[in-house]
Structure 1
Amino acid sequence: MHTIKKLELNQQLTDLDILEIDSPSCSACIALQGAQILQYQPKHRATPLLWLSQVNTGQLGKALRGGIPLCFPWFGAHPQGLQPAHGFARNQIWELQNVSYDEAQAIHHVDFILQDSPETRKIWSHAFRLKLRISCGRSLNLDLHVENIGSQAFEFSFAWHSYFQINQIRQTEIHGLQNAEFIDQLQNNHHFLETDAVTFQQEMDRIYPKASGYYQIVQAHAEPIQIAAPSCASVVIWNPWQDKAERLGDIAEGDWQHFVCVECGQIASETVRLAAGSEVHYQLKITDL
């Protein structure tokens, strides 16, 4: 079963259309803005896998905090500082092409497309097409195709800015990054080597340009969350901690303790140069099985 309705936050209808999915395997909500999955909960699990802020405004054109926003065609600050951070794909209305249901596997497949337009060319002057398939079942799968449909090569970076719901950030570990080099954005972008599991005692903002593509979120009294993105070279680990969460303004008081971002993509030294007429494909799989 699937329906389209307005996003509900704080008991109020907002401007954003969302697709609601319910099947024997999972429930999920996907915003047409950004083709952004906002909520995903397998039926075998007592709590959602993704975290969504309940103090989002839900205004058209304003990024939503939580779920899995797609940062494209750049991650972080604009290379020349001329445009907003994280690109424009998460703020655009994507075309919903198809919703299908595989009854045998209890999986919904949702297909979106975003192509350059006069609006995007004011921000980034390249001809492109993004195709995104979101598959919701006992696991969550995202498949992204980036196509250069223009006559000149372009460069891009991207990330799935995934927010995972956790019990308590101080009791959470990220596994799979041992021996990976990272850039600490809170220490003047100095480079360090990860020696053990990642733990949290303060604000964290680390870019791992070249990582394994396989990670685990480990916490007490819960099954580990498994993240597989073998086609993505990079990953970012982020939590704002208390002071920054208060400055951001779209995170409810104390909620910074209940999410962690593990963001797979192509970042920093792994920016992609895509020739005219070419395409690349990236995948992300999330499960607790």
Structure 2
Amino acid sequence: MHSIRTLAFNQRLSELEVLEIDNPSCTAKIALQGAQILQFQPKQSAQPLLWLSSANSGKRGKALRGGIPLCFPWFGSHPQGLQPAHGFARNQLWTLQEVSYDAEQATHHVDFTLQDSPATRQIWAHAFRLKLRISCGQTLNLYLQVENTGQKAFDFSFAWHSYFQVKQIQHTKIQGLQQAEFMDQLNHHQRDVEDQAVTFQQETDRIYPKALGHYRIEQADAQTISIRAPECDSVVVWNPWQAKSERLGDIVAGDWQRFVCVEVGQIAPQQVRLAAGAASYYQLQIAHV
């Protein structure tokens, strides 16, 4: 048996619609705002792959903390500081094109699109179309196509701002970034080279502009999480620790210990120049191993 239905993000507070998926492989929830997968748990796993804050209000147009928000057409602060951080894609209502079910693979495929509108052109004056497929089976797969539908080339950056659930951040490490150069966002963008697995004893915010595309989140007494993003050059590793999480306001006290962000994408200076009529493609695969 398999099922998919629409429900409110939060029965008391939400202005958002969410698709709930249940099939023999997994359970999942996807918000139509941002085409954002919020929850995913393989049925063979004892714990969810993704972390979602219980402090989200579910108000329309407000970013949801957790799951996998898509940051587009820029990551981080706006280049001129004139617009909100992380672009607009995560706050827009996407068009749900199709939901299909592959019985042989026990996998749901959910297809979304987002294209330019008067509202987006006030923020970013380019014609574009995004196509996103979210495949929920034994693994979680995201496929993104960025298309330039205008007459002029444009530059963009993006990231899947993935929040992974961990038992305790202090006993978590990230493998796969050894020998990669990074910029320390908490130390005036100082550059250094990672010489071992990334561990956490304090607030961490590092950008690796050029990495290898395969990472593992290893935990004491919990399943390892595999992350594959072969077309994505960049990765960010982030945890706010206690003091910053209290300033953010949408993280319940203590929850900073229960997630880590490993965010793959194309982040400056690895941004993409896309010619008129051209398209670029990216994929992300996440699984317990």
**Amino acid of the structure 2 residue aligned with 1:6:** A
- Residue in 1 aligned with 2:41? 41
1:12 partner SS = coil
Residue in structure 1 matched with residue 147 of structure 2 by the alignment: 147
Q: Partner amino acid for 1:210?
A: K
* Whole-Å separation in 1 of the counterparts to 2:214 and 2:201: 23
Match of 1:237 in 2: 237
1:266 is matched with 266
Deviation at 1:222, TM superposition (A): 1.5
**1:130 aligns to what?**
130
Corresponding residue number in structure 2 for 1:203? 203
Separation in structure 2 between the aligned mates of residue 90 and residue 193 of structure 1, nearest angstrom: 31
Counterpart code for 2:187:
Q
Structure 1 CA distance for aligned equivalents of residues 28 and 220 of structure 2: 25
Instruction: Tell me whether 1:75 sits opposite 2:75 in the alignment.
Output: yes
Which letter does structure 2 place at the counterpart of 1:271?
A: Q
Instruction: Indicate conservation of the 8 Å contact 2:13/2:57, yes or no.
Output: no
For the pair 1:6 / 2:8, whether they are aligned, the reply is yes
Distance 2:123 2:264 in 1: 24
Superposed counterparts of 1:14-25, under 5 Å: 14-25=14-25
The percentage of counterpart residues that share the same residue type is: 68
**Unaligned residue ranges in structure 2 (runs of 5+):** none
Report what 2:255 is aligned to. 255
**Partner of residue 55, structure 2:** 55
**Aligned AA (2:8):** K
Deviations along 1:253-281, one digit per CA (max 9) or x if unpaired, are 00000000000000021010000000000
Shift of 1:13: 4.4
In the alignment, is the contact (CA less than 8 A) between 2:13 and 2:59 conserved in 1?
no
Give the deviation of 1:36 after TM superposition.
0.1
Residue 279 of structure 1 aligns with which residue? 279
CA RMSD of superposed structures (Å) = 0.6
TM-score, normalised with respect to structure 2: 0.99
Q: CA deviation at 1:33?
A: 0.1
**Which residue type is aligned with residue 7 of structure 1?**
F
Offset from partner CA, 1:103-149 (integer Å, 9 cap, x none) = 11100000000000000000000000000000000000000000000
Letter of the structure 2 residue corresponding to residue 140 of structure 1: L
SS in structure 2 of the partner of residue 60 of structure 1: coil
**Aligned-residue offset at 1:12:** 2.2
Instruction: Give secondary structure in 2 for the equivalent of 1:195.
Output: coil
User: TM-score with structure 1 length normalisation?
Assistant: 0.99
Alignment partners' CA distance in 2, 1:231 and 1:221: 31
In 2, the alpha carbon distance for the partners of 1:254 and 1:173 equals 19
Q: Give 5+ residue unaligned stretches, structure 1.
A: none
Shift of 1:195: 0.2
What is the total number of aligned residue pairs between the two structures? 287
In the alignment, which residue of structure 2 is the partner of 1:85? 85
Code of the aligned partner of 1:39: Q
Paired AA for residue 4 in structure 1? T
